[in-house]
Structure 1
Amino acid sequence: MSSPTTPMHAKLPWPKGTLVVDTETGLRGHLIAVVTERLKKTDRVVSETAFVRPEGGGVEWSAHLERIKPVETHAACQRPTDPNETA
Structure 2
Amino acid sequence: PQTVLVPKSPLAEIAAIIGRSVLIIGADTGLTHLASAFGLPTVAVFVATEPGLTGPRGPFSSTLLAAPGSRVGPIEVLAEAEK
Relative to the length of structure 1, the TM-score reads 0.21
**Which of the pair has the greater relative contact order for Cα pairs under 8 Å at 6+ separation?**
1
Q: Which has the higher helix share?
A: 2
